[in-house]
Structure 1
């Protein structure tokens, strides 16, 4: 039986506090053993990825203390409880089963007589069958013509993850002849968002996926009506162009307004729902079910690594523990996710929700106040664009920002241009290598404006190419990292009460019942 305790009540907490500033990463990488350190501090991931943490402020002493923390906090044991169906989401009294949707790990979980593994597999098959019928012409529009575009209508986890994964694989799919349909996304309740998407879409040849677990999400239902009005104005029957991804108990589930409904449940939270029909339907339509299956396989293999008790052989756990050390010992408040891959342009935004909605908590899993910092602020943009934007602060600002790079040896498209004796991909990767060393080692200059202190810690995940399996492994890595950090901090990482208050007040404004400052702000905005 595992024991849930606050981080600062553990003996390993005190050990770690004694190791503040224990490692000078500038000295370590600049010294004669710097090259050997880069080769040594490396951990294999799934799908050919590798997590290199040589530029982090760790050594054998720190790593030993982190292993002791992992053992004392029973982190892998808690993970085992999670995927075997324990009630980990204490706020909502729910299981947490997104790992089960990868069809891997643990025993079958049965809830109210329903085998959840079989349920998730059945819905994946339902989505795959629908996608295949669209692709082979069994499902067509009113004029018997094929659908060429799919538009997902959803917000939060119903948008960020699927959108990030679609963008990540669009070029790969085109280069590998698996691209089936263009995908677009409507999320913001701002009417300009829906209008922009619809203006660029051939409505007669478009399918629209309405994604709402409850079937009552205000922003999503508003955008759905916006789309329905556009279809009607174009002389089209919305019920011939729309499908739903929802729960079995939602009002959307058996509505004749949709071609079909594919189901999800309460045990997979929105920000982890890319493995469910939320991501499976749109990605199967865009790239084919086989590609979505490859994403899941990459995730499943990474999940297997996350069960290893040895942190040096568990990249997800190791990354999580180093992050805890940086947050709670070194005192770094922010983590920048910096993919040197344009395909991962929206990946930091997805991780921002995943991390900050999960671990942005100031009470423990029992609702009691805690007395240590928890989740960091997450932000990021692809390199090299970010270098010409916010890297100035990362290099010479007053705060040290923890850095997580992602890079690939080869591009997705297999085409390149050689200018000045190097290709575009070589130039891209030369930049990420240079940034890692520049951040760590800095540069001394008598002109203080040109002086770089260095000592800015970073890690990098390196792969051969951003394939579906590699993308799945990358996503699972960060999901598991967030989970392990929540375990250390004794948080419930699987509810999100912080997003609810604003919704309640917005409904109060729209009902005309606001008063005080709320009413004045509403009046200023002409509501």
Structure 2
């Protein structure tokens, strides 16, 4: 059986903080949102903060001033602002003390630190300048692509964060897409996905972006080779169509096979990669470099907000502390992320990976098994469709599921109409605001089937319009929120060992598949895997 250290290095500080003890006491009798006179217009006006064009509205959380004060104390005891400053300055934050680990800086914020008041630390400045070199290379490449005018489509081959984040951003900003600049995505090693995408494009007018830092990721390597063969079968030279985003010196860093090679570094994790070259190539090709630059500016602006020591002026920190209140003290295991904006249809999947891969950890940064809950389960779908899907359980089911709504005052296209006295956008927002109220207050009824218990906490992240700047700020808001949660729990939010075991065992099963093809029988070194292969026949 695998074991973890029982060293007393950190003594699981989270459970021992004075603020944690205070919050446990407050959680025994949380604010009652259903009580008449508790949820008022004044309360809604009171519990709001603004940053980067967003309002965080949290009056429908089960909080009071006393709770916020205790959460502020928790953040102070956990030294989360100091840790955020250290992360953004390039300190080695991706590590487990006393055990072999990645021992890396975490520098995704440096990939967008081109604007006002950049970081002055040597490590952060060097990372930003290295990224600037790649962006200049990208601008030159795009100028050539534009002048030749032969590419109309881009297929992005990646997996996990190198797929989910860039795809979410692309779909969110699709309204700005340049004419005849389409993007397609291949992630799974599912041949049907590749066949479908190839069926959607004219290969002679298609770029293929292969994304893998190591150049050896199983899914990406396999899909790259598959796609390369398809181009060769079509009589096309892959070198004139394929570009890569990889680490220097990797198998994908090969100018004989790629039209251009762009670089990233070990200090950029996949789930934090969208503002780095992973997203830069895709978004600049489809939306234009200026739109990508505005995306970076929004992310950088929210990074600066995350450094503010005042929780009432630090939206990522407030969001993190509200989640910790719901999760660690009120006992909610999951959170539903519901954008009332169809353009954010893939955003919940991105945040699901960002949050759960980052904070799904059972040891702290000293290798000690934690005695409290860490990462929440994130999931969600866009509203109002979600209302007709799973809201029944949220309103009247037995589990308490907090919600985070995301909405915008204005639509992206501006093409709307008045029907029955209101626009579609007003109807969309009307539903979002009403759900927040209904979940909080509930409804009494003599018929138990029509009774709603209420006290379902929620909060709203509300912006004016989903622009590139707003999208960048939203990405950064969640990235920094997730980091603050990890800092509070004193876990390493920047590795993903839980992904590795499945990869290792998958390679053993794949070897058995190869043996079965070559010799007619499984390899025999992995009996459990071979047992599954015996059931391939029907």
Same fold (TM over 0.5): yes
Q: 1:166 aligns with which of 167, 170, 178?
A: 170
> Quick one: structure 1 residues 441 and 154, their matched pair in 2 at CA, closer, same or farther if it must change by over 3 Å?
same
Deviation at 1:198, TM superposition (A): 0.6
TM-score, with structure 2 as normaliser? 0.92
For 2:240 and 2:39, the matched residues in 1 are separated by 65
Deviation at 1:21, TM superposition (A): 4.5
For 1:441 and 1:228, the matched residues in 2 are separated by 57
Q: Which residue of the partner structure matches residue 98 of structure 2?
A: none
What per-residue deviation string (whole Å, max 9, x for no partner) do you get for residues 473-524 of structure 1? 1110011010000011111000000010110001111222442322212332
> Quick one: structure 1 residues 230 and 456, their matched pair in 2 at CA, closer, same or farther if it must change by over 3 Å?
same
Deviation at 1:417, TM superposition (A): 2.3
> Quick one: structure 1 residues 352 and 77, their matched pair in 2 at CA, closer, same or farther if it must change by over 3 Å?
same
1:255-404 superposed matches below 5 A: 255-404=255-404
Q: 1:35 aligns with which of 37, 41, 59?
A: 41
Q: Which residue of the partner structure matches residue 481 of structure 1?
A: 481
Q: Which residue of the partner structure matches residue 156 of structure 2?
A: 152
Structure 2: state its 5+ residue gaps: 1-9, 96-100, 513-522
Q: Give secondary structure in 2 for the equivalent of 1:511.
A: helix
Deviation at 1:32, TM superposition (A): 6.6
For 2:123 and 2:510, the matched residues in 1 are separated by 41
Structure 1: state its 5+ residue gaps: 138-144
> Is residue 103 of structure 2 the alignment partner of residue 93 of structure 1?
yes
Deviation at 1:160, TM superposition (A): 0.1
> Is residue 116 of structure 2 the alignment partner of residue 106 of structure 1?
no
For 2:364 and 2:54, the matched residues in 1 are separated by 34
> Quick one: structure 1 residues 153 and 32, their matched pair in 2 at CA, closer, same or farther if it must change by over 3 Å?
closer
> Is residue 84 of structure 2 the alignment partner of residue 79 of structure 1?
yes
* Contact 2:34–2:442 (8 Å) recurs in 1: no
* Contact 2:32–2:38 (8 Å) recurs in 1: no
* Contact 2:44–2:59 (8 Å) recurs in 1: yes
> Is residue 19 of structure 2 the alignment partner of residue 8 of structure 1?
no
> Quick one: structure 1 residues 396 and 266, their matched pair in 2 at CA, closer, same or farther if it must change by over 3 Å?
same
For 2:455 and 2:179, the matched residues in 1 are separated by 44
TM-score, with structure 1 as normaliser? 0.94
Q: Give secondary structure in 1 for the equivalent of 2:33.
A: helix
Q: Give secondary structure in 2 for the equivalent of 1:110.
A: helix
Deviation at 1:375, TM superposition (A): 0.5
Q: How many residues align?
A: 510
Q: Which residue of the partner structure matches residue 492 of structure 2?
A: 492
1:410-429 superposed matches below 5 A: 410-429=410-429
For 2:179 and 2:306, the matched residues in 1 are separated by 32
* Contact 2:245–2:263 (8 Å) recurs in 1: yes
Cα RMSD over matched residues? 1.7
Q: Give secondary structure in 1 for the equivalent of 2:108.
A: coil
Deviation at 1:180, TM superposition (A): 5.9
For 2:39 and 2:360, the matched residues in 1 are separated by 38
Q: Which residue of the partner structure matches residue 52 of structure 1?
A: 57
> Quick one: structure 1 residues 357 and 32, their matched pair in 2 at CA, closer, same or farther if it must change by over 3 Å?
closer
* Contact 2:50–2:56 (8 Å) recurs in 1: yes
* Contact 2:33–2:39 (8 Å) recurs in 1: no
1:178-327 superposed matches below 5 A: 178=178, 181-327=181-327
